[in-house]
Structure formats: C-alpha cells, structure tokens
Amino acid sequence: QKLTYIAPVIFDGECMAELLEEVLEEGAKEWEHALVGFLVGKKIPFRSLHSALNKKWSDAGKFSIHTAENGIFVFKCESVEVRNWILDSGPWDVWGVHLALRLWERDLPPISSGFTKITVWVKLMNIPMEYSTTKGLSHLASVLGTPLHMDPDTEAKQMISFARIYVEMNADRPFPDVIKSKRRSGAIVEVKVEYSWKPPVCERCKVFDHSMRACPIRPLTILVSPESKSTPDAEGWVAVIGKGKEKLGEVVAPLGPPLKPAMKNQGNYVPPRNIEVPKTPVKERNAIVETPMTASPGTNPLALKIKNIEKQLQMDPIPGLPRCVGGPNSGGSSVEMELEILLTLAGIEHASKHAQTSISDLSRAPTMPEPSTRAQRPSSTVPYPRGLNDPIKQREVKSLILENNIAFMGLLETRVRAGNKDRVSKGLPSGWKSVTNHVHSLLGRIWVLWNPISVQFTMIDISPQAIHGSLIIGKTVFYVSFMYGSCDYREMRNLWENLIHHLSYFSSRPWVILGDFNVSRFPREHSGDKPLFSKAMVEFDQCIRKCEVEDLRKIGHLFSCSNKRTGAEVVAKKIDRDMGTWFWFKECSDFQAHFPPLGISDHLPCILPFQRPNFPGVRPFKYLNVWASHPSFLSVVEEVWSRCVEGSPMEVVCQKLRLLKPTLKELHRTYFKDL
C-alpha cells in the first residue's frame, strides 16, 4: 500500500512523530485476538513450527504466525474463541520443546535478551469455598506471580475442588508448592500448588531460556595453592623432613576384574559394583591429608574418587570432566554436578519396575519368548542397565513389534533419563517417532512410539502420570490416553482429577484408556485367598464411574501383574486396564484386547488390534416366543438371573444374558426340538 507524508512535531528541539489515539486504537484492533509466545530452551525453524501448530490448532479455527525479534512469535487468531481455545487447551509442546504463550496486550514491552518471565498453568488444590471468587483467587495466585486469567471450568465453578489459573512467573522467584494464607482468626490456610510444567531456570542469569548446565556464564575457577610445609628461618633456609623412603598418602587400590582391551578408553563402560572408592591411609604422624579447603590444584574429593576409579579400570580420564574446586559464588553446583557424573559412571540407578506395553494396529496375537529362553544377564557383581536402558529389553521390544506388525506403542516405567533418550531411541525401530513425559518425570515414566508411515499421533496433553493424544489411522480418528499411576494413593488422586478434567473433551469421542493404574478395582482381581479392599480401590472405582468408561472385550489372562513365583508365594493382581467410552464401543465394538503371557517384564503386555476381525459366520441366537409357554421357563430364567455377577450395571446385564443363552438352548433341545 502507498504511504503518505505526515508532518512531524518539534518537541524540546527534537523532531518527533506524534501518533494520535485513534491511530493507535486502529493498530491495536488488528492484534486484539493475538497471542505472544516463545520456545523455551531450543529454536525450531519457522516452517517446522508452522506445520506442527497447524496440525494441532487448525480444528479450532484459522490463525497466522508472525516472527518478531529475539525468538518471539505472534500468533494472530481469527476470533476470540480460537484464541481462548488455544490458551485453555495448553500447555503446548512442539517437537518436545515447550511453547510459552500469553495474551497480546497493548503497550506490551519488548523482550530484549533472555526471558525473565514465563506463563504457566497452575492448579490450586484444597481451596476453601470462600476463597473461590475472582478477588480471592487473585490474592492466592499473586503469591506465585502475576495472575492473568482462569480457565472456563474454574470461571463457571464446575469444579470447586481446584482452580486452574494462568500465571506469569518471574525467573527470580521460586516455584512454591504451598501457598499460605492467614484468616482473620489467625489460623493459617495452606493451598497446594500443582504446576502443569516447570520450566528450566538459570539461577545466575535469572532467565528461563536456558538451565544452569547450559549457562554461557561459567563461575570463576579458583585454584587453591598448597600450604607450605615448613617455615623458613631467619636466613631463609628450610629444613627438609621425611625425605627418603617415607611416602605420604599412598593409595592401596583393591583388585577388580580385568578390563577387556576392546573396552579400554570408552566412557560408557560401567564399572563393577564391588569396587569401592579407595581411601588414603595416613602412615605417619606428619602425613598431610587433603580436605576440600586445602586440596591441591586440579583436585577435589569427588574428582579424586573418579580418578581412582579410572585408575583401577585402566581407563584414560574422561575429557571435559570438571576437576577444580568451584569459586565462592558457585555454591554447591560444582559438587552436585560431579556427584551426578560419578553416579552415572558407577551405573547407580534405581531398579526398574516394569516396561509394560500397550500396542495397537496388530494383525495377530503375539508369541512371547519364555523367561528361560531369554538372553542371560551379566553376573550379579556387574550392575546392568535398568528398564529400557538395557539393550536386551530394547531387542525384545523390537522383536515384539516385528512379530505383531505393531505401528503404535506405549511403554511405561522406562527408567530412561532425558540425556539418554537419543541413545536409547537408536535401539528401537528406526524412523519411528516418540513423545515422552520427561518434562514432568526425571526418568520418563511414559513413552509413546509410533510408525509415521502407518499412523499419525498428536499429543493433546501431558502430565506426570498420563499422556493424552489423538491417533489417526487412515481416515479414522481415535483418542488414546496412556496412564501410569503412582503407588501413593494421594498422588493417584491427581490422576483421577486429570481424567475427570479431560472428560468434557473426550466423552463425546471414541476414547480408549490404556495403562498401569497400580490399583485394582474389585476384590476378586487379586490372587489371595482373602479379598482385599482399600480406599484407593474405592476412589478408583468412583473415578471410572464418573468418567463413564468400561473395560474392553478381552482374551487372555485375568491377572496382568505377578511376582513370577510359584506355589504359595505367588502374588498376582489385575492393575493394568484398557477402558473405553460409549462412543468407543459404538464405533469399535468388535475390537478385542489381548493379554498374552509374560515376556518383557512382570506385567503382561496389552495388545489392542485396530482391525475388524473376520467372523466365521456363526448362526446368531434367536429368542422364540414359544419358550415362554413352558412351565419351567420362569424358573430357568430366575435361576440364571439370581447368580452373583460383579461389575457395572451394563456388564452385569450382558454377562447374565450370555449365561442365559446356553440354558435356553438346552430348553429348546429338550422340549421343542421337533418344531
């Protein structure tokens, strides 16, 4: 468009441009439905960002992306409904990178360098009823940062047990887990805070766009000079003591297993468990023992331990390993960093619980290897990787995928740290894509893998115990949620609330829930002689009834988890479930889940074929009115209907009808076979 000349004004001897209020209002009106955002920690090309967000947001309406400086993006939406849907459906991730969003406002100051503020969805729990007003929630959220707005459910007070608020957090303020409020009587009220996502923050720079490990500003390294052993006399002479065969601080290293030549100088070698960190004995009274304050240059206690371990294993020092005492401003960060490196070298990790799989798009039932035929583990003296870090389990996962033509899979309790994610992914099928919840879980409790050639998966929401998303197979869209419940019933409540919160979105869609809930629903789902009943089971059953989901049709074992023992010591439970909504049963009523025998872990894999089975054409059951004329008809029906069947009302009716069919067929063969 053609521009026109507008005469500037002179103010204090300077030539300035004067913009009238109507001009500013016209410009602000163009961006009134816009959002401002940036990617935290990693930059993604514009085309890739536009393609990823177009798949996630295009169903809500039209939008456009505009690039500003310093990695800032402005998302211009066609209406306020589209803008609010994007905000309320967050948080959003693009290729595993968090996208921080906030409303565009007039006179919004530009971000020069670094991101000192970020917007986060927070959930306030245990809020008193009198606090659930706009001003009351504003007072509580102001302890965290600047409250921006509430989600629609909180605003409509549909769920009064918690409030979901969008808060702008500052990098120089902590993320408290509890907000304390004082009543008029002096009593202290504690409101629990749950964050949908905690961004990495650099405590040195006070910004959110990088963490302490990736900080470009390194603390100054102070080399501590060794103390002089003797004081010179008046003429400058120093008496030498202990010269000759006397040795100070001789290290006696215990013998360990020999290292193979092919494994020398490899940083990923895991040292044996039975090697202890050697100590420096003091042989003489005048021997000098180094402490963190008197250490010689280039050493400190933890670095010395690493050096001794490398010496025993005949390994060269690992390049880039910090071996200097941190400066006065470093605090405990240097020690913590070296401690983490030491634990990684020693292979000290928590034991893996299991690696259960939930799989879809299969062609036939699986054939799992018996435990006795599996590859042998290393000796008990050498610790092996836990969970999916173990190459043996990676091969078993690949074998399971190939044997069953799997295109979509969920792995639980992988025990894979975020830093090892890329390395472990190389042991899985090549070309597959994955989504993890490392943002909420240090060890990545849930992994979702899929073959992009066969299916398309789009993540909708992620939490410490769940990953929700949409699955596209051909032209059909399903909604899948993978769950891994905590062992603590108090943390389980967060999972139940998460399911109920997403009910408004998934209830009218074909939604299937797969996972390990770590709790049974009924007392009969336990192998013990005495029925077990707990508070967690009651809350789990209430959540299922509120979500209006039911177990899918299945074949295989009833108990999905066992301790792999025999006789009186065996303990088996059903804590892994596959459930669907009414719309799922409406569209996928003939889909049937499989629970094959144990193979990868102590949990059975749950296999759900997304394929219509070929029925052999069995003659359908037909009710004949003539049966009701027989005198024993009512007694036969009453005998079957009086049997005790557990489950939901729908399950009870269906099960009793199945039990009634063979009885009525026998009645027909006995009295009406000549008809």
Note the pLDDT of residue 74: 85
The pLDDT value given to residue 513: 93
Residues 513, 518, 522, 527, CA torsion sign: positive
pLDDT band at 240 (very low <50, low <70, confident <90, very high): low
Confidence of residue 479 (pLDDT cuts 50, 70, 90): very high
Q: Residue 423: enclosing H or E segment and its boundaries?
A: helix 421-425
pLDDT at 496: 92
Per the prediction, the chain carries an average pLDDT of 71
Do 446 and 412 contact (CB within 8 A), yes or no? yes
Q: Is the dihedral of CA 629, 635, 638, 643 positive or negative?
A: negative
Q: What is the full DSSP assignment across 18-66?
A: ---HHHHHHHHHHTTTEEEEEESS----HHHHHHHHHHHHTTT--EEEE
Per-residue pLDDT averaged across 539-544, rounded? 90
Reported confidence tier of residue 470, pLDDT bands at 50, 70, 90: very high
pLDDT class of 209 with cuts at 50, 70, 90:
low
pLDDT band at 213 (very low <50, low <70, confident <90, very high): low
pLDDT at 471: 92
Region 73-97 average pLDDT: 81
Average pLDDT in the 214-234 region?
A: 54
DSSP string, 192-254: EEEES-----BTTTTBSSS-STT-SSPPPB-PPPPPPSS---TTS-----S-SS--SS---PP
What pLDDT, on the 0 to 100 scale, is given for residue 370?
38
pLDDT category at 376 given cuts 50, 70, 90 is very low
In this prediction, residue 239 carries a pLDDT of 58
CB within 8 Å of 554: residues ≥ 6 apart = 578, 592, 593, 594, 595
- Does the pLDDT value for residue 49 go beyond 60? yes
Quick check: 527 and 559 in contact, CB under 8 A?
yes
Q: Which residues in the chain are classed under CATH 3.30.70.330?
A: 16-195
Question: Is the confidence at residue 468, as pLDDT, over 90?
Answer: yes
Burial of residue 479 (number of CB atoms within 10 Å: 0-12, 13-18, 19+): buried
Which pLDDT score, from 0 to 100, does residue 24 have? 77
Where residue 110 falls among pLDDT bands split at 50, 70, 90?
low
**Strongest mean pLDDT among 274-278, 287-291, 586-590:** 586-590
pLDDT tens for 152-181 read 777 777 666 678 888 887 777 878 888 888
The architecture CATH gives domain 357-608: 4-Layer Sandwich (3.60)
Q: Classify 374 as helix, strand or coil.
A: coil
Comma-separated ranges of CATH 3.60.10.10 domains in the chain? 357-608
- C-alpha dist (Å) from residue 364 to 68, 221, 265, 474, 608: 52, 61, 46, 19, 10
One-letter amino acid for residue 528 of the chain: G
Structure confidence at residue 616 as a pLDDT band (50, 70, 90): low
Model pLDDT, residue 480: 94
* pLDDT value at residue 271: 43
For residues 140 and 208, is the Cβ–Cβ distance under 8 A? no
**How high is the pLDDT of residue 590?**
76
Would you place residue 398 in the very low, low, confident or very high pLDDT band (cuts 50, 70, 90)? confident
Task: Check whether 361 has a pLDDT greater than 80.
Answer: no
User: What is the percent of the chain where pLDDT is above 70?
Assistant: 68
Question: Is pLDDT larger for residue 349 or for residue 133?
Answer: 133
The percentage of residues in the chain with a pLDDT greater than 90, rounded to a whole number, is 7
If phi > 0 it is left, if psi is from -120 to 50 it is alpha, else beta; for residue 575 that is alpha
Check pLDDT > 70 for residue 422: yes
Query: What topology is assigned to 16-195 in CATH?
Result: Alpha-Beta Plaits (3.30.70)
pTM: 0.41
pLDDT at 599: 65
Which pLDDT value is given to residue 159? 67
Give CA–CA dist 74/104, Å, rounded. Answer: 8
Average pLDDT (239-244) is: 54
Task: Please check the confidence at residue 84 and state whether its pLDDT lies above 60.
Answer: yes
User: Among 121, 94, 144, which Cα is nearest to 435's?
Assistant: 94
| 465 vs 43 pLDDT, higher one | 465
Indicate if the pLDDT at residue 359 is higher than 50. Answer: no
Which of 411-425, 489-503, 519-533, 661-675 is predicted least confidently?
A: 519-533
